[in-house]
Amino acid sequence: MKRLFKNASAAVAKDDLRTRLLMGFAAVVIGSLLLTASARTQIPFWPVPMTMQTMAVILIGMTLGSRLGFIVVTAYVLEGLMGLPVFANSPARGTGLAYLMGPTGGYIVGFCAAAYVSGWLAERGYGETFLRAGLVNVVGTLIMLAMGYAWLAHLIGVEKAFALGVMPFLLSSLVKVGFGAGLAVLIARSPLKRWR
């Protein structure tokens, strides 16, 4: 009888591992498609057009959790490094390492950190209410802006980087924080919460 339970337990664990791997693979594919679509969707805004990519990064982290969210966003970045046209304005601006070494490279690397931190906060209950989800969105946005600013400052100088790489995005970031917080609360109350 003991052996029967041991064999049954091993079979369930094996099926559970297969299911988790399949779900993880599906998350990477769907997340990559979502990030690519959000990067290519430009919404007219002032002073610069707005994409939904940063909001998608944060929502992926909050929905999938720190580890899987980080893996999904890192896979997306690696796809771009391999030359796939997944980033905003690519391939017109070049692809691969050349794109990452350009002015947007710091923001793109910041995507990975923002997804991880957003997921970590969501795993600890942030994201259940509009205010807490808004806080997660603010933190994720600040991570991406800070990393993007740091890289841009390295390329063009501190003052110019702030004027071109931070200031134009503050208003659109605020809009995305509010919209992202609302979506995060809806996701937290849906079956998608089980991904974490």
Q: For 62-71, what is each residue's pLDDT tens digit? A: 999 999 999 9
pLDDT at 162 over 90: yes
Contact 61, 116 (CB under 8 A): yes
User: Could you state, in order of their start, the residue ranges of all structural domains in the chain?
Assistant: 2-195
Which DSSP category does 50 fall into?
A: E
Q: Could you report the per-residue pLDDT of 74-130, keeping only the tens digit for each?
A: 999 999 999 888 988 777 666 788 888 989 999 999 999 999 999 999 999 988 899
CA distances from 139 to 1, 31, 50, 102, 113 (A): 53, 21, 19, 24, 11
**CATH architecture designation of domain 2-195:** Orthogonal Bundle (1.10)
pLDDT band at 8 (very low <50, low <70, confident <90, very high): very low
The overall average pLDDT reported for the chain is 89
Distance of alpha carbon 91 from alpha carbon 71, whole angstroms: 24
What is the token pair recorded at 66?
Answer: 């720190």
